[in-house]
Chain A
Amino acid sequence: MIHVFAFYLFAVLTIASGAITILARNPVHSVLWLILAFFNAAGLMVLVGAEFIAMLLVIVYVGAVAVLFLFVVMMLDIDFAELRAGFIKNFPLGMLIALVLLAEIVLGIGAYKAGAMHLGTPDGTAITAPGVSNIAAIGQLLYGRYLFLFEASGLVLLVAMIGAIVLTHRQRPDSRGQNIARQNARRPDEATINMKPEIGKGMTL
C-alpha cells in the first residue's frame, strides 16, 4: 500500500515540477523546480531498488550541477520582455523539436514493448539477486565486464576537461601571483629593518 502511495507521489511530483520548470516565468524559479524534479526522480530510483543510482543522482545533479546552474542563472540580468519577444518567430522550430522528441519516446516504448532487446525486461529479470548490494553489483560490472568502456568514458571526460581549460585559460604575465611557500618562510627579522639614520642625513633602503 505504502509503496503504491509513494510511487504516485513521486511520479506526480516529478511530472508536475518538470512541467512547471518549463512554464515558470522566472528562470531562477525554473531551476528550483528542476531541482525538485531531480529529487523526486531520485525517490523513484529508490522505489525500484536502485538506491546507489538515487544517491548519485542527488549528489551529482542536485549537489553539483544544479548549484552551478543556479549560480549562472542567478547572475544573469534577465529582461523578461526580451525573452518573450521571439516567441512567435521560434514557435515552429520549437514545435518541430518537440515532435521529434515525442516520436523518439513513442518509438522507444514501442520497441521496448515488442521485446526486441533484453536489457531491462518488463518481468524484472534485470534486477540484481537479493543479498548483493547495489554498489557491489555495479562495481563488478563496471570494473569487470565493462572495464575498457568505463576507462574509455573516463578518457572522454578527461579530454573534455582539458578542452575546457584550454579554451578558458589565459596567461596574464602582468599579474603577480602569490607564492605561499615564500610568504610562509618569511620571518619578521627579514621583513623589518631597524635603522638609526643620523640627524639631517636621511636614508636609503
Chain B
Amino acid sequence: MTAFFQSLGMSFEWAWTIATICGILLIALPLMLGVAMIIYADRKIWAAMALRRGPNVVGPFGLLQSFADGLKVFLQETIIPSAANKGIFLIAPIVTFTVALLAWAVIPFNSGAVLADINVGLLYVLAISSLGVYGTVMAGWASNSKYPFFSAMRASAQMISYEVSIGFILICVVLWANSFNLNDIVLAQKGAGLGFVNGFWFNILLFPMWVMFLISGMAETGRAPFDLTEAESELVAGFQTEYSSMSFALYWLGEYANVLLMCALNATLFFGGWLPPFEIPFLYWIPGFVWLLLKILFFFFIFSWVKATVPRYRYDQLMRLGWKVFLPVSLGFVVLVSGWLMFTRYGA
C-alpha cells in the first residue's frame, strides 16, 4: 500500500504513515463489526444448544441485538466506586481492549496482506497475549473489592500456566515451518498433508499439538469451561464486578476480540490460514481472506459449542491440566518433533 501512496507523489515517510493508518483502520473497523456480530452468533449458538430462540427481537432475526446493547451501555452512567484506585480502574479496560486489537497486526489475511510482516511474528503474538493478563489484574486490584481481587489472582495464575504450554506448542509449529514469520508458516503448510491437504493438522506429530492449542486457547482467553476468572457462582462477576457502562463494554468487546484472535491463530498455525483447505487449483479462485474468515468462524463455532456443553472446571483441576498434563506433553512433543526433523529433514 505504501507504493500506491508513493505513486500519488508523496515522500516515502508520509506514504508509509498513511498506508499504516489505513491498514490499521482496515483491520480494526471490520474487527469491531465482526465482534458485534460474533457476540450475536455466540448467543444464537448457545441458545440453539439449550433449545431456546436466543436474541430475536431487535432487527431481522435479532441481528441488531449487539448494537442495541452497545447503545444501551453507552448511555448508561459510569459508576466508579469511591474506594477504587481511580486511574488504574479506568485504564484497566482500555488495556484489555487495546491488547486484544494489537496482536491482529501480524495475522496474514492473504498472500502478503499483513499489516506488519515481521520476522518474529509468532513471538510478537506470544508477547502481546502475555500482556492480556494485565487488564484483568489491574481491574481486580483497582476495584478494591474482594471478589474482583480473587478473580485477578486466579487470572494471573491461570494465564501464566497456560502460556507456558502454548509457548511449547508454538515452538513445535515453528520447528516444522522453519520460520517465526506467520506468512511463511502459512506457506509452509501448502500441501503439508500428502501434498493435498493444506495445513499442519494432518501431520500426526502436530495434530495433538493442535488439540492442546485449542484447549489452551480457551484457558488463555478465559472462556468456558475455564472461565474461573468470572465464575458467577463464586465470584459474582469476577474482575468485572465493579464495572459498569462503557468500561464494562470494553471488557466484553476485548474478550470476544481475543477469542477471535485465538480462532485466527488456530486457523493460521494449523489449518493453513488463508490457503484453501485442499490443494485444488479452482479453490484458489476464492480470495484468501474468505478462507481465513470461514476457518475463523469454524473455530468460533467450536468455542461456542464447548461453552454451551462443558461444565466449568474446578480451580485445582485447571492447574493440574496446565502443569501436570499439558506442560510435560508439549515439552515431550518439542523433543519428539525436533528429533524427527533431525533424522528426516536435516539428517540426510
Residues of A within 8 A of B (CB): 1-2, 26, 28-29, 32, 35, 51-52, 55-56, 58-59, 62-64, 67-68, 70-71, 74-75, 133-135, 178, 180
Contacts and interface: CB of A to CB of B under 8 A. Distances in A.
Contacts of A28: 85, 88, 141
Contact of B141 (A58, A64, A74, A178): A74
Interface in B291-347: 316, 320
**A-B interface, 9 closest residue pairs, ranked by CB to CB distance from nearest:** A63-B130, A55-B123, A58-B127, A59-B127, A133-B119, A74-B141, A55-B120, A51-B120, A55-B127
B126 interface: yes
B36 interface: no
A147 to B, nearest CB: 16
Nearest to A53: B120
Given A35-B134, A67-B156, A135 B119 contact: yes
Interface residues of B, number: 31
Given A1-B13, A63-B163, A71-B156, A32 B123 contact: no
B126 A55 contact: yes
A144 B85 CA distance: 51
Contacts of A135: 119-120, 180
Given A29-B88, A56-B123, 10 more contacts: A28-B141, A51-B119, A51-B120, A55-B126, A68-B156, A68-B160, A71-B137, A71-B153, A74-B152, A75-B153
B231 interface: no
Interface string B131-154: 101100110010000000100110
A169 to B, nearest CB: 15
B137 A62 contact: no
Contact of B88 (A32, A58, A134): A32
B180 A62 contact: no
28 contacts: A2-B13, A2-B17, A28-B85, A28-B141, A32-B88, A51-B118, A55-B124, A55-B126, A58-B127, A59-B123, A59-B126, A59-B167, A63-B127, A63-B133, A63-B163, A64-B163, A67-B130, A67-B133, A67-B159, A67-B160, A68-B156, A68-B160, A70-B156, A71-B137, A74-B149, A74-B153, A135-B119, A180-B320
B119 to A, nearest CB: 5
B131 A134 contact: no
A45 to B, nearest CB: 11
Contacts, number: 73
B329 to A, nearest CB: 15
Contacts of B138: 32
Contacts of A29: 88
Contact of B127 (A62, A70, A74, A75): A62
Contacts of A51: 118-120
Contacts of B134: 35, 67
A93 B119 CA distance: 47
B2 to A, nearest CB: 13
A26 B141 CA distance: 12
A1 B88 CA distance: 34
A1 B134 CA distance: 33
Given A2-B13, A67-B156, A71-B153, A58 B130 contact: yes
Nearest to B324: A180
A134 B137 contact: no
A52 to B, nearest CB: 6
A152 B347 CA distance: 26
A35 B131 CA distance: 10
Contacts of A59: 123, 126-127, 130, 167
Contacts of A35: 134
Nearest to A70: B137
B86 to A, nearest CB: 12
A58 to B, nearest CB: 4
Contacts of B137: 67, 70-71, 74
Contacts of A180: 320
A76 B167 CA distance: 30
B88 to A, nearest CB: 7
A123 B96 CA distance: 41
A63 B131 contact: yes
Contacts of B131: 58, 62-63
B184 to A, nearest CB: 11
B289 to A, nearest CB: 26
Interface string B94-133: 0000000000000000000000001110011011001101
Nearest to B180: A135
Contacts of B156: 67-68, 70-71
A38 to B, nearest CB: 11
Most chain A beta-carbon neighbours within 10 Å: one of B17, B131, B167: B131
Nearest to B124: A55
Contacts of A70: 137, 156
